Amino acid sequence: MCYDRPQFRTAIDVEPIPVINYEYPLNERIRTLLRLEDLFARIGHFIEGGGTFDHHSALISLFEVLEVASRADLKVDLVQELERQRQILLSFRNNPEISEEALSGALYEIEQASAALLAMAGKIGQYLRENEWLMAIRSRAAIPGGACQFDLPAYHFWLNRDVEARRRDLANWLHPMTPLRDGLVIVLRLLRGSGRPEALVARRGSFQMTMGGRTAQMIRVRIPRGLAAVPEISANKYALNIRFMMPETLSRPRQSEADVNFELTFCNL
């Protein structure tokens, strides 16, 4: 789930209305990329913080990246997808309707990301697994409250080091995995930009449609931020169902009784 300010307009408003985007992946690969995107963003946020809890959270998120990234051969998948997108972009060469400068920039970005991924040696995050001190923290952190200072005095010492020293350590531990982050950012950006939003209405909070041969890797539902409705999405290759639930009744979920205006986008590379 992410927040932005896209093209939601009314007849009298000239400024876009703030919206919430809800994204629903339709396969395991996109699900993994979205999880990693969220974790990398979290790490970046907490590294910038100066508190010990910030840097503890950054390190725990790095361990989560290690866990998620080890479940599939992400490097090969990303390299293959980036190469496929490169070939598609190359087909637009000499097209008068396409900016050559923008096309060259996109191709350069993809080629740089691919080269960095191919330069990654060994299993993703292996250098972290070989660090006994970090793995001891990871093991204790899996236990509720297990990373207290009496359990890990050496970690407690590190958390009380100078802020910039901790930031340098975190940046060094993160750096070898930045090609993975940069590659998935490009793929997800292309995926999100692949569809056209369609304005729809969920009557009494319910929307259903048959896929009708439509292929998609991800579905995006976009609603105004001030609208009290949370979409519950289920989809397969035959049908899409969306129920908009009332957030003020989360303890006892109840479907909205009002019509809900939303935008729906099918994204596919």
- Digit-coded pLDDT (tens) for 181-211: 999 999 999 999 988 999 999 999 999 999 8
Same domain, 184 and 214: no
What local confidence, expressed as pLDDT, does residue 103 receive?
85
Q: Give the pLDDT band of residue 16 (cuts 50, 70, 90).
A: low
In a domain, residue 211? The reply is yes
Total length of the chain: 269
**Between 22 and 237, residue with greater pLDDT:** 22
Count of structural domains, the chain? 2
CB of 233 closer than 8 Å to CB of 221: yes
**DSSP state for residue 246 in the 8-state scheme:** -
Q: Which residues contact 110 (CB under 8 A, 6 or more apart)?
A: 82, 85, 86, 89, 186
Cα 202 from chain centroid? 26
The mean predicted confidence, pLDDT, of the chain is 88
In a domain, residue 19? The reply is no
In a domain, residue 100? The reply is yes
In a domain, residue 263? The reply is yes
**Residue 20 β-bridge partners:** 3, 223
**Between 109 and 12, residue with greater pLDDT:** 109
State the CATH number of the domain containing residue 254.
Answer: 2.60.440.10
Residue where a domain stops, chosen among 133, 154, 189: 189
Residue with tokens 């129920």: 243
What local confidence, expressed as pLDDT, does residue 72 receive?
61
What local confidence, expressed as pLDDT, does residue 199 receive?
95
Same domain, 147 and 46: yes
Same domain, 213 and 122: no
